[in-house]
A = this chain, B = another copy of it.
Amino acid sequence: MPRAGVTAERLTLAAAELADEVGFANVTVSALARRFGVKDASLYSHVRNAHDLKVRVAVLALAELADRVGDAIAGRAGRDALVAFANAYRGYATDHPGRYAAAQVELDLDTLLAGAARRHADMTRAILRGYHLPEPAQTDAVRMLHSTFHGYVTLEHTGAFQHTARPAEESWRHTLNALDAALRHWPTDR
């Protein structure tokens, strides 16, 4: 009987696809084994346990997201960069809801985290360069942007915006305008 050719990488990728299809919460070792035509126990030679598998998907997702955002903001600045970043971010969450959900798991392993999460923070800071914010306002602005983007796509996907006629697309556009304005006139303090 020929081998199925399971590797940690192929498992992670398949788990990511599975997540996008059935939701990250439903990504299970059993389901993954089924997809490979293999018994559950066989997967434990490649991943330590279910949590390990989920972390791998999270790291994959963070890297993909960073790639997409990085491409989008290349060569742009100021408002253009902000919009490009935001749309790339939201686009990834829409195209890959399962992967995006995976990216939100708590990553204790700062070593791995430092890799992908740092890239995100750095890119957000790159956007802000056009707005000339000094520290620590820059850090505050990074957090606000991240919060707004993450909050928006999360609420959008849980259906929180479906009870009003206004298209989510329109509100998104205007939210970005408001963010741009907020960054241009960042309040010194009070």
Contacts and interface: CB of A to CB of B under 8 A. Distances in A.
Contacts of A84: none
A168 B166 CA distance: 33
Chain A interface secondary structure, helix, strand, loop or mixed? helix
A146 B155 contact: yes
A152 B147 contact: yes
Interface in A107-122: 110, 113-114, 117, 121
Interface in A166-186: 166, 168, 170-171, 174-175, 177-183, 185-186
Contacts of A137: 174
Interface in A134-190: 136-137, 139-141, 143-144, 146-152, 154-155, 158-161, 163-164, 166, 168, 170-171, 174-175, 177-183, 185-187, 189-190
A158 B182 CA distance: 26
B144 A171 contact: yes
A95 interface: no
B104 A171 contact: no
Contacts of A140: 166, 170-171, 174-175, 178
A149 B151 contact: yes
Contact of A160 (B146, B182, B183): B146
A187 B184 CA distance: 12
Nearest to A105: B158
A154 B190 CA distance: 26
Interface of A: 104-106, 110, 113-114, 117, 121, 136-137, 139-141, 143-144, 146-152, 154-155, 158-161, 163-164, 166, 168, 170-171, 174-175, 177-183, 185-187, 189-190
